[in-house]
Amino acid sequence: MYNPQLNKNGELAHLLSIEGLPKSILTQILDTAASFMEVSARDVKKVPLLRGKSVFNLFFENSTRTRTTFEIAAKRLSADVINLDINKSSASKGETLLDTIDNLVAMHANLFVVRHASSGAPYLIAEHLQRIGRDDVHVVNAGDGRHAHPTQGLLDMYTIRHYKKDFTQLRVAIVGDILHSRVARSDIHALTTLGVPEVRAIGPETLLPKHLDKLGVHVYHDMNEGLKDVDVIIMLRLQNERMTGALLPSAGEYFRHYGLTPQKLALAKPDAIVMHPGPMNRGVEIHSAVADGSQAVILPQVTFGIAVRMAVMSIVAGN
Amino acid sequence: MSNLINEALPDAEAQCRQLADLIRPQLSKNPALVGIYSGGAWIAERLKELLGLTEDIGLIDVSFYRDDFAEKGLHPQCRPTVIPFDVEGRHLILVDDVLYTGRTTRAAINELFDYGRPAAVELAVLADRGGRELPVAPTYGAWDVKLTDAQNLVLDRNDHGQLAWRLENV
């Protein structure tokens, strides 16, 4: 089957989505990231891999954290990094996405990191590059619409592997607004590919996509039931705009049912870890005592995220 | 130089002992061993035992410092570099199995300098097959060997931890 992420040798040339990637490529990324963790612990946190290459951060949607971690990752690979805040530039003057890309390719861009509110935008760019014969230019999806956020999914897998070692014995619960979450989608594909036997989705009916069972996911509406004996809890951010619509009654009501409190955490395995992609809403999806507690690995996730993004960029840039 | 054709491959374990004998007079400098994955790491472990050193050896994977990234991309299996001691001011002995073009040595030296400024870096190799493309020479070498471009000398470690040479045709 044609996969626009892979080159003719089956190697990763763009990272667009975890869906459709073989386990071997996911494992290669996680193993390479482990080597980059060592680099980030040194005095000189830089390797010369992407020296002379230009990485363009194209953020059509705001995200300070993701953009910053990509920028740090590219700089630690010795690339030159150019941050483009597209909202304030060409797009608002009416330039099309692909015209913007053509202009940046003419400036000798080597790698695009793309965040876009529309699902599929990074695919469009990757296919365009192939059409114009520029297989030396690579695309990394930094979040597209509701579709995918593959580097977040991979850093979540790195975090789980770091603390739990083996994927094949785990029960993992994803809690919250799965319907609108590209992180949840990427996590589910990654967990399944890496052999996690039981993935649970916990949330109110209005925030869970239909047909989750077709992805092999077990659905729970009662958090107390869903958290029982899990090894890993992935909390999702509840976006404020969901509260103003008809999907949820109020933040307080949501916290009562789906907020992770110390009492609810106690239902999971005693050594369960708590993850969150950030930014957190304390008192909405997570209690401060949990967010700051000994089982939370939310800040290590951020550190791992840099190593994972270094791995992804160095792998795609070399293929 | 010995010619490898029609000749049995020498005992790699005996060569490790030979290499240890060459290094032993330098122990007063308190050298730290750094093995290049994977063959060099095995040899460095063996040298540590033979020389009675107590300090953990360093392990280096040069994937992030190679000069052929543009042609070949990132090596699909890279392992973490681990330098468990402070490189600053130390006398280092870089250990590799086969010295050939010198490019791996160059990459390893570059990587070491990102950890600090060592007092000195020496190079210990089990086999030197010539063919240098950079001005690199071993400080300690156990075996000079002549190979054709089509031959590849590979160090293996069996289940009992014994090191042995194997000749491959590429």
Residue type, B167: L
Contact A38 B78 (CB under 8 A): no
Alpha-helix residue ranges (DSSP H) falling in chain B: 12-23, 39-51, 69-72, 103-113
Alpha-helix residue ranges (DSSP H) falling in A145-286: 150-164, 182-193, 223-226, 240-244, 251-258, 262-265
Contact A38 B115 (CB under 8 A): no
Using alpha carbons, list the distances in angstroms from residue A5 to A146, B25, B35, B37, B103: 19, 55, 36, 31, 32
Least-confidence region, from A7-16, A83-92, A309-318: A83-92
With pLDDT > 90 as the criterion, what percentage of chain A qualifies? 82
Measured in angstroms, the CA of A294 and the nearest CA of chain B are apart by 27
Q: Does residue A48 belong to the interface with chain B, where contact is any CB pair within 8 Å?
A: yes
Q: Is the pLDDT of residue A218 over 90?
A: yes
Q: Does residue A43 belong to the interface with chain B, where contact is any CB pair within 8 Å?
A: yes
Ramachandran quadrant class, A78 (left: phi over 0; alpha: psi -120 to 50; beta: rest): left
Contact B115 A47 (CB under 8 A): no
pLDDT value, residue B1: 47
Contact A28 B77 (CB under 8 A): yes
Q: Does residue A82 belong to the interface with chain B, where contact is any CB pair within 8 Å?
A: no
Q: Which CATH number among 3.90.1720.10, 3.40.50.2300, 3.40.50.2020, 3.40.50.720 corresponds to the domain B2-169? A: 3.40.50.2020
**Interfacial A residues in 285-314 facing B (CB < 8 Å):** 314
Q: Does residue A118 belong to the interface with chain B, where contact is any CB pair within 8 Å?
A: no
Q: Does residue A280 belong to the interface with chain B, where contact is any CB pair within 8 Å?
A: no
For B51, residues 6+ apart whose C-beta sits below 8 A from its C-beta are: B20, B23, B24, B27
pLDDT value, residue A21: 96
pLDDT value, residue B6: 41
Instruction: Work out the average pLDDT over A305-312.
Output: 98
pLDDT value, residue A85: 78
CA neighbor of B100 nearest in space, from B63, B55, B151: B151
Using pLDDT thresholds of 50, 70 and 90, give the confidence band for residue A43.
Answer: confident
Q: Is the pLDDT of residue A99 over 70?
A: yes
Q: Which residues of B touch A28 (CB under 8 A)?
A: 76-77
* Backbone φ and ψ of B64, nearest 5°: -80, -5
Using alpha carbons, list the distances in angstroms from residue A142 to A64, A65, A120, A159: 12, 11, 12, 18
Q: How far apart are CA A3 and CA A7, in angstroms?
A: 8
Digitized pLDDT (tens) for each residue of chain B, 170 residues in all: 445 554 689 999 999 999 999 999 999 999 999 999 999 999 999 999 999 999 999 999 999 999 999 889 998 888 999 999 999 999 999 999 999 999 999 999 999 999 999 999 999 999 999 999 999 999 999 999 999 989 999 999 999 999 999 999 88
Handedness of CA A185, A187, A188, A193 (dihedral sign): positive
Which value, to the nearest 10 degrees, does the dihedral of the CA atoms of residues A103, A107, A111, A117 take? Answer: -30
Using alpha carbons, list the distances in angstroms from residue B102 to A60, A193, B132: 46, 41, 6
Measured in angstroms, the CA of A241 and the nearest CA of chain B are apart by 42
Contact B116 A34 (CB under 8 A): no
Size of interface A-B (CB pairs under 8 A): 50
Measured in angstroms, the CA of B115 and the nearest CA of chain A are apart by 6
CB A216 within 8 A of CB A191: no
Strands B151-157 and B163-169: antiparallel
**Average pLDDT over chain B, rounded to whole?**
94
Task: Provide the angle, in degrees to the nearest 10, between the axes of the packed helices B39-51 and B12-23.
Answer: 60
**Interfacial B residues in 111-130 facing A (CB < 8 Å):** 111, 114-116
- A238-281 confidence digits (pLDDT tens): 877 666 666 777 888 899 999 999 999 999 999 999 999 999 99
Measured in angstroms, the CA of A45 and the nearest CA of chain B are apart by 8
Per-domain residue ranges of chain B: 2-169
Q: How far apart are CA B35 and CA B123, in angstroms?
A: 10
Q: Does residue A32 belong to the interface with chain B, where contact is any CB pair within 8 Å?
A: yes
Q: Is the pLDDT of residue A70 over 90?
A: yes
- The secondary structure of chain B in percent helix, strand, coil, rounded to multiples of 5, reads 30, 30, 40
Cβ-nearest to B80 among A28, A35, A319: A35
CB B153 within 8 A of CB B147: yes
- Cis bond upstream, residue A279 (ω within 30): yes
Residues in chain B: 170
Residues in chain A: 319
A 10 A CB-CB count for A67 gives 19
Sheet holding A171-175, edge to edge: A217-220, A198-202, A171-175, A232-235, A273-275
**Average pLDDT over chain A, rounded to whole?**
93
Give ∠ CA A298-A271-A160 in degrees, rounded to 5. 50
Q: Is the pLDDT of residue A59 over 70?
A: yes
Give ∠ CA A235-A240-A246 in degrees, rounded to 5. 105
Instruction: Work out the average pLDDT over A47-62.
Output: 94
Cβ-nearest to A35 among B61, B69, B114: B61
Residue type, A295: Q
What number of H helices and E strands is found in chain A?
13, 9
Give ∠ CA B112-B115-B120 in degrees, rounded to 5. 50
Contact A42 B72 (CB under 8 A): no
CB B134 within 8 A of CB B103: yes
Q: Which residues of A touch B80 (CB under 8 A)?
A: 34-35, 37-38
Q: How far apart are CA B126 and CA B13, in angstroms?
A: 10
Q: How far apart are CA A280 and CA A290, in angstroms?
A: 12
Q: Which residue of A has its CA nearest to B111?
A: A47
Q: What is the CA radius of gyration of chain B?
A: 16
**0.95 surpassed by pTM:** no
